């Protein structure tokens, strides 16, 4: 990648020198943004934000880099385009085409057509390229709803796809954009998070009867008493869970054992007071999600942590799982932030935002495996 020198500002220069310096500075700005997006795409593609101590790319950008929400979504969209179009990414990185042309190509190119569009952009002026892109844009027939994310789970992620006509696609894109602008989407939400949040809101909007008190839905998890391996029960069969996911579930669950009554790991009244104290929001710095809330032990129970409210905080499922991946304990600064939320008080009526996890019934793995 070519290096550009940023000219030092000097007042009182002749018009031609001011113009030349401005043009040189604009070129340097374009190249700097191009380079920044390439690095940002690298962080996203390899999931490096997790190694840097953040549960999501959004938290890394807003908390770690100090991005505004708008700047994050600008970089995210550009990084997605470069991930989707590797030939375009290489052309940008090598300087074959400029950043302005690359953004035009990304609006219309597919994996199959990217090479042709890159070649066209290399020999076409900006205005002519913009005209050709406007003429060539067509709605995409299929809309995948799961982004490929590297997560340490025993079973690989399952891909779910929906087909959309042009009008449905336009509505989907408009609603996603509006949800982000209004701050309704969970922090760092990918498309699956958005779909789950929408379904959760739809279910929660229905009147609750005496028979439907508690969590809107329950997730059933089976765990082997010998090897502690656990699976989530789905219509597609049982899906193995990562150890960190199992530990997070064990923080806040209803446990069923053969011949014994169901037991909540945290007393329901204590859980409700913790959710109320934390305003029914994830307290992880920079997150503040109101969806898929779970209660976490600041000091793990294995280390003597109690089930009292002062040892409990509210986390969304994403942040909760991430904390357990990193050992289950929060940094001192994070604990201090939580303590500043305020005294425990009732913000009524309290409801369980859930979903509650039910672990059980306990069964024996076949064959049983020794603990590792």
- Of 349, 204, 220, give the one whose Cα is nearest residue 290: 204
In 269-308, beta strands by DSSP E: 293-297
What is the percentage of the chain residues whose pLDDT exceeds 90? 11
Instruction: Give, for 237, the enclosing helix (H) or strand (E).
Output: strand 237-240
Which residue in the block uniquely carries the two structure tokens 């999501």? Answer: 56
For 300-340, how does the pLDDT look when each residue is reduced to its tens digit (9 = 90+)? 887 888 889 999 999 988 888 888 887 766 654 454 454 44
CB 296 within 8 A of CB 224: no
pTM over 0.75: no
Angle at the Cα of 147 (from 251 to 194), degrees rounded to 5? Answer: 65
In whole angstroms, give the CA distance from residue 124 to residue 336.
Answer: 57
- Of 250, 278, 248, give the one whose Cα is nearest residue 264: 250
pLDDT value at residue 214: 52
List the chain domain ranges: 15-139, 140-185, 215-359
In whole angstroms, give the CA distance from residue 71 to residue 62.
Answer: 9
For 20-66, how does the pLDDT look when each residue is reduced to its tens digit (9 = 90+)? 999 888 888 878 888 888 899 899 989 899 899 898 888 899 999 99
């Amino acid at each position: 990648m070519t290096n550009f020198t940023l000219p030092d500002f000097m007042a009182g220069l002749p018009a031609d020198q001011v113009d030349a310096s401005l043009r040189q500075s604009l070129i340097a700005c374009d190249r700097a943004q191009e380079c920044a997006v390439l690095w940002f795409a690298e962080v996203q593609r390899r999931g490096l934000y997790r190694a840097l101590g953040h549960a999501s790319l959004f938290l890394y950008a807003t908390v770690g880099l100090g991005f505004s929400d708008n700047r994050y979504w600008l970089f995210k969209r550009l990084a997605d385009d470069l991930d989707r179009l590797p030939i375009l990414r290489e052309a940008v990185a090598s300087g074959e085409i400029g950043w302005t042309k690359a953004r035009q190509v990304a609006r219309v190119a597919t994996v199959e057509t990217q090479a042709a569009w890159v070649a066209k952009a290399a020999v076409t002026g900006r205005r002519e390229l913009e005209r050709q892109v406007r003429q060539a844009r067509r709605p995409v027939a299929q809309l995948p709803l799961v982004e490929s994310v590297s997560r340490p789970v025993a079973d690989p992620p399952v891909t779910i796809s929906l087909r959309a006509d042009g009008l449905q696609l336009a509505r989907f894109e408009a609603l996603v954009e509006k949800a982000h602008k209004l701050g309704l989407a969970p922090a760092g939400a990918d498309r699956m998070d958005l779909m789950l949040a929408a379904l959760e809101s739809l279910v929660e909007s229905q009147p609750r009867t005496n028979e439907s008190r508690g969590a809107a839905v329950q997730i059933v998890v089976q765990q082997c008493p010998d090897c502690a391996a656990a699976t989530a029960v789905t219509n597609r069969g049982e899906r193995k869970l990562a150890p960190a996911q199992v530990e997070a579930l064990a923080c806040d669950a209803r446990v069923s054992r053969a011949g014994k009554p169901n037991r909540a790991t945290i007393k329901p009244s204590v859980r409700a007071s913790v959710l109320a104290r934390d305003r029914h929001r994830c307290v992880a710095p920079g997150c503040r999600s109101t969806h898929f809330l779970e209660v976490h032990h600041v000091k793990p129970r294995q280390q003597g942590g109690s089930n009292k409210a002062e040892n409990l905080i509210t986390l969304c499922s994403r942040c909760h799982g991430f904390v357990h991946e990193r050992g289950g304990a929060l940094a001192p600064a994070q604990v201090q932030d939580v303590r500043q939320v305020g005294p425990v008080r009732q913000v009524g009526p309290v409801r369980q935002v859930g979903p509650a996890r039910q672990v059980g019934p306990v069964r024996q793995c076949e064959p049983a495996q020794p603990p590792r």
